[in-house]
Structures are given as C-alpha cells and as structure tokens.
Amino acid sequence: MSWDAYVTNLTANGALEYAAIIGLDGNIWASNFGVAVLPSYQAEVPDEKNPDVVTKVAYDEKTAFVHALTHNGNSGNAAGVRVNNQKYYTIQFDNDAKSWYLKKNKGGACIAWSNTAAVFASFSQTINAENGATQNAAECNKRVIEMAKYLADSGY
C-alpha cells in the first residue's frame, strides 16, 4: 500500500479534514493538504497583552514539528505547533503513550507516532462527514492512534 492510501484511509467518508504521515525527521511521506514539505513562512502572531497588535515572525513548520515531538509538545515558539499554516494549541502531550492532542478554532487535531513516523489528522466542527455527523475529536483520535499503532506493529 502506498503512503497516500494511508492518508485516504484516515480521511475516508469525510470523517477528518486533513491528514498526513510525517517522518520523525519532519519530512512528509504523504498528505492531503497539497504540500510536499512542511513549509517556512511569515506567521502573524498577536501580542499577548494587546491582541489587536500583530507581529510577523519567521516560522519553519518542519523544524518546529520535530522540536515539539522531542520536547513534550513545545515547538520552541509557543505551546503548540503549526501544521499546514494552521495554529494548534496543545491540550495534552503524552510522551509515554506517544500521543498529542491539539485544539484549533472550531476543531482540533491528534498526532500519534511510532518509531519512524507521526500520524497527523485534523477535524473541523464546521464540516459534516458523509454520514451527516460533524467531524469530531473522538473519531480523529481513534483513527490516528489506530494508524500509528498499525505502523508501529508493522515495523515503522
């Protein structure tokens, strides 16, 4: 099975918004968000004391992703990470269970990892799956954790 098929499996029936298999080195093996690498760009960051003031800062998703996985969810810039130019805030990072639960505006994401790859998927509470149910954290977490376990059991 190609790596793209794993992403297709994760997002089957419209249950999840975005998905990717990402090597622990930060290289994308497959994704449905149209990029071959986690990008670098200027991100707009609101000031903590005055949210109306926005500063542009250089952000490298690949470097921050790898750093966060090896530093209990701390990307070096904030408590969370950006994937596909979307900011996610850490809800829970469990290094022992190899899982990371994230929140974004009107949705969230889950990341779980094996010895060589991380499985990422996000959901949006504004999108309905094919069965009519709203995309949700429970389905996202279940699919991501099962896929990471499968990869680990398969030697990845």
Full-model pTM: 0.91
Region 104-130: mean pLDDT is 97
pLDDT tens profile 104-115: 999 999 999 999
3-state secondary structure of 85: coil
Cβ of 152: how many Cβ atoms within 10 Å? 16
C-alpha 65/C-alpha 73 separation (Å) is 9
Closest CA to 38 of 10, 15, 61, 71: 61
Q: Which pLDDT score is estimated for 93?
A: 93
All structural domains of the chain, each given as residue ranges with its CATH number in brackets, are 3-154 (3.30.450.30)
Average pLDDT, the chain: 92
Closest CA to 57 of 39, 77, 71, 73: 77
pLDDT over 70, % of the chain: 97
Work out the angle at residue 64's Cα, subtended by the Cα atoms of residues 103 and 39, and round it to the nearest 5 degrees. 95
